């Protein structure tokens, strides 16, 4: 039975690289993307690389889009082995300093959570029945070390002063979801883990980031392909990060 993986936000950056590397392992890759033109372009590029790829229109901030995507996936595939919840945003108007907790608007907070958390949970809940049909399911939530409460509260941490509240809080919520979901699925042979890709050269990370997209995707791909009993972990390149 050929493995099937869904990667959200897969038309560019970390999502595209993750889809490419999973596809190179012989896995059928479903390319989740909001924009049909960009999604189909990504699929064409992946196919040119020898990857078995299929576009799925998916906007994780839109509940109707999520339902339609799940219906399409369920219609075309009788199981799902890997779910990579990669789609995420940081609002362009959010401050990165500590005062963001006082200055950000409710709209920014809600918009950030809608994509980074609520949509992620909605999509995952609807896909769990399909993942249960896998011989071994892997769910990877792409988080960030900025979602670590331990790092945020440690004055010695390199990330102590990096405090865009909406983004950090949404990733902390994702980490909490990882822990809860891993516990709920522990008897279903489905592993649930959070990945910190690092500071990566993407639209979000900017060109100033020290890691390439290939380096950033490594943690995500490793967790997606992991066949051990590892679950409820938060890590970067195999190293545990404090929740």
Look at residue 206 and tell me whether its pLDDT is greater than 70. Answer: no
Q: What whole-number distance in Å separates Cα of residue 152 and Cα of residue 68? A: 37
The 10s digit of each residue's pLDDT in 141-157 is 999 999 999 999 999 99
Please check whether residue 190 is in contact with residue 220, taking contact to mean a CB–CB distance below 8 angstroms: no
pLDDT, greater one: 97 or 57: 57
pTM: 0.95
Q: Which CATH class is domain 4-90+113-145+165-240?
A: alpha beta
Q: What whole-number distance in Å separates Cα of residue 5 and Cα of residue 1? A: 13
List all residues 6 or more positions away from 217 whose beta carbon is below 8 Å from its beta carbon: 14, 17, 18, 21, 197
Give the model's confidence band at 204: pLDDT under 50 very low, under 70 low, under 90 confident, else very high.
low
Task: Provide the annotated active-site residues.
Answer: 167
Domain boundaries, the chain: 4-90+113-145+165-240
Query: C-alpha distances in angstroms, 170 versus 50, 113, 141, 205, 207?
Result: 35, 6, 12, 17, 24
The 10s digit of each residue's pLDDT in 87-120 is 999 888 888 787 889 989 999 999 999 999 999 9
Please check whether residue 130 is in contact with residue 73, taking contact to mean a CB–CB distance below 8 angstroms: yes
Of 29-38, 73-82, 96-105, where does mean pLDDT reach its minimum? 96-105
| Exposure letters 42-67 (e unless 16+ CB within 10 A, then b) | bbebbeeeebebbbbbbbbbbeebbe
Q: What whole-number distance in Å separates Cα of residue 204 and Cα of residue 199? A: 9
The two structure tokens encoding residue 189: 């042979």
Dihedral in degrees, nearest 10, Cα atoms 242, 161, 142, 188:
30
């Amino acid at each position: 039975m050929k493995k099937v993986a869904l990667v959200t936000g897969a038309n560019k950056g970390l999502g595209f690289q993750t889809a490419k590397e999973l596809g190179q392992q012989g896995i059928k890759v479903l390319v989740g993307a909001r924009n049909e033109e960009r999604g189909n372009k990504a699929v064409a590029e992946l196919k040119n690389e020898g990857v078995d790829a299929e576009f799925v229109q998916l906007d994780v901030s839109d509940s109707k889009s999520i339902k339609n995507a799940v219906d399409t996936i369920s219609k075309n595939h009788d199981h799902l082995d890997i779910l990579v919840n990669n789609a995420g945003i940081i609002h362009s108007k959010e401050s990165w300093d500590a005062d963001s907790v006082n200055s950000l608007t409710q709209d920014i907070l809600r918009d950030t959570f809608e994509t980074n958390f609520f949509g992620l949970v909605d999509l995952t809940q609807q896909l769990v029945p399909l993942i249960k049909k896998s011989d071994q399911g892997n769910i990877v939530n792409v988080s960030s070390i900025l979602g670590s409460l331990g790092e945020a509260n440690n004055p010695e941490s390199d990330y102590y002063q990096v405090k865009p509240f909406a983004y950090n809080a949404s990733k902390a919520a994702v980490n909490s979801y990882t822990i809860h979901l891993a516990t709920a699925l522990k008897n279903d042979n489905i592993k649930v883990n959070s990945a910190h890709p690092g500071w990566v050269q993407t639209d979000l990370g900017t060109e100033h980031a020290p890691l390439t997209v290939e380096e950033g995707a490594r943690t995500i791909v490793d967790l997606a392909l992991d066949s051990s009993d590892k679950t409820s972990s938060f890590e970067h390149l195999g190293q545990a990060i404090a929740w």
